[in-house]
Amino acid sequence: MADENAVCSGYEKMPVSRLEPGEMGVILARAGAGKTACLTHLALGYMLDKEPVLHVCVDVVPDKVKLWY
């Protein structure tokens, strides 16, 4: 039975696991490709699993980042 709080991302089907402490993941793509949407979606899934999330965006003010959640 699926977790009712799960965010459908397909991430669990990818051939990689969650990041280990001290590791960093990077998503690169052209402007407008959906990088922020993808990462926000993944972050929401972690948050629903009670995992800590840090969202750093160098070109957006923190108050705008908060609106994505």
Residues 42, 11 contacting (CB under 8 angstroms): yes
Domain-embedded: residue 53? yes
Domain-embedded: residue 4? no
- In whole angstroms, what is the distance from residue 7 CA to residue 60 CA? 25
Domain-embedded: residue 39? yes
Domain-embedded: residue 28? yes
In which domain, by residue range, is 52 found? Answer: 11-67
pLDDT of residue 1: 46
Contacts of 25 (CB under 8 A, 6+ apart): 19
pTM above 0.75, yes or no: no
Residues 27, 38 contacting (CB under 8 angstroms): yes
Domain-embedded: residue 5? no
**At residue 5, what are phi and psi to the nearest 5 degrees?**
-95, 0
Total number of domains constituting the chain: 1
The CA-based angle 42-47-22, given to 5 degrees, is: 75
Domain-embedded: residue 18? yes
69 residues of the chain, pLDDT tens digit each:
456 666 666 656 655 567 788 888 788 889 899 888 888 888 888 888 898 888 888 888 889 888 888
